[in-house]
Amino acid sequence: MTIQTVGVVGCGLMGSGIVETCARSGYRVVVREVNEEVLQRGLRRVEESMARAVERGKLAAADRDAAWTRIRGTVRMEDLRDCDLVIEAAVELMDVKKEIWRELDALCPPHTIFCSNTSSLSITEQASVTRRGDRFCGMHFFNPVPVMKLVELVRGYLTSEETLATCRAFAESLGKTVVVTKDHPGFVVNYLLVPFLLDAVRALEKGLATKEEIDTAVQLGLNHPMGPLTLLDFVGIDTTYYIAEAMYQELKDPRYAPPLLLKQMTLAGHHGRKTGKGFYDYGA
């Protein structure tokens, strides 16, 4: 099956990166947000990211302009009805995702493939509210999407081989390397990463060292590009809290139980870089 038009639901951190990557690879993209203000903020992120790629000589200005003409923003779910593939990148809450899929299942033709960019939530459970479990899978990108090379393709209980093959070809056409995983909370990467990030918060809570020292220790001692608390700010404190909570509820393994500090920061609106404050301050 040929993919020409891609729908993206959500133009936050991940949605904007997915929109940019698809448009730069030649796909037409329709992206839906909840309201005009959030949509414009997301599209500005796409614009700034492409401007940076042009400045660094990674993207020709003409290619940027062509990619930009392939992107269309909307607040109407109906505008996704002609997409061949829809990638959902809304908040990490099962009820929100199910509501999106119910609506899209009624709007889109049978051939449209549905993919969730979820970090932790069951693909099989999301697919259960649609009549297209065979054309449903997880397509898990990594942040920042234009830079990170991996896509985890998640095989739900009903996902067909044909859907997996189409999605693999699509992800590879974006320049990504694919790893196929089971539909298990956290798939491969977050199954390993989340306990590590939560342990960094617990280390801070216990006062093992300051936040800067914890980050420096991991950055220099393990050669990670970012320390874990900086990475938490980068991923989003709220998103990590939702991921941990979902994984803990499913696995009942205390390694995934979100530390109190993460919950309090989520409730306080200190969501990391995207809100200007998390473990660190990023100004306006």
Q: Which residues pair with 31 in a beta bridge?
A: 8, 73
- Report yes or no: 74 and 43 within 8 Å, Cβ to Cβ: no
- Report yes or no: 16 and 90 within 8 Å, Cβ to Cβ: no
Other CB atoms within 10 A of residue 61 CB: 11
Chain centroid to Cα 159, Å, comes to: 20
Q: Does residue 274 bind ligand NAD (CB under 6 A)?
A: yes
> In whole angstroms, what is the distance from residue 221 CA to residue 234 CA?
20
Cβ proximity to ligand CAA, 68 vs 82, nearer residue = 68
Q: Does residue 190 have an active-site annotation?
A: yes
How far apart are CB 225 and ligand CAA at their closest, in Å?
A: 4
Q: Does residue 21 bind ligand NAD (CB under 6 A)?
A: no
- Report yes or no: 4 and 44 within 8 Å, Cβ to Cβ: no
Look up residue 106 and give its two tokens.
């009624």
Candidates 100-108, 127-135, 140-148, 250-258; binding stretch for ligand CAA (CB under 6 A):
140-148
56 binds, among ligand NAD, ligand CAA, none (CB under 5 to 8 A by kind): ligand CAA
Q: Estimate the crossing angle of helix 260-268 against helix 189-206, to 10 degrees.
A: 90
Candidates 9-17, 122-130, 177-185, 210-218; binding stretch for ligand NAD (CB under 6 A):
9-17
Q: Which residue among 1, 60, 96, 267 contacts ligand NAD (CB under 6 A)? A: 96
Burial of 134 (0-12, 13-18, 19+ CB in 10 A): middle
Contacts of 58 (CB under 8 A, 6+ apart): none
Burial of 42 (0-12, 13-18, 19+ CB in 10 A): buried
Q: Which residue among 7, 10, 146, 156 contacts ligand NAD (CB under 6 A)? A: 10
Q: Does residue 224 have an active-site annotation?
A: no
**Binding positions for ligand NAD, 26-55, rule CB under 6 A:** 32-34, 38
Cβ proximity to ligand NAD, 60 vs 192, nearer residue = 192
Cβ proximity to ligand CAA, 158 vs 237, nearer residue = 237
**Binding positions for ligand CAA, 63-122, rule CB under 6 A:** 119
Backbone angles phi, psi at 9, to 5 degrees: -105, 115
How far apart are CB 58 and ligand NAD at their closest, in Å?
A: 21
Interface contacts to ligand CAA, rule CB under 6 A: 49, 52, 56, 58, 119, 142-144, 146-148, 189-190, 225-226, 231, 235
Task: List interacting residues with ligand NAD (CB under 6 A).
Answer: 9-15, 32-34, 38, 89-92, 96, 100, 117-119, 141-143, 235-236, 239, 243, 274
Q: What are the catalytic residues?
A: 119, 140, 152, 190
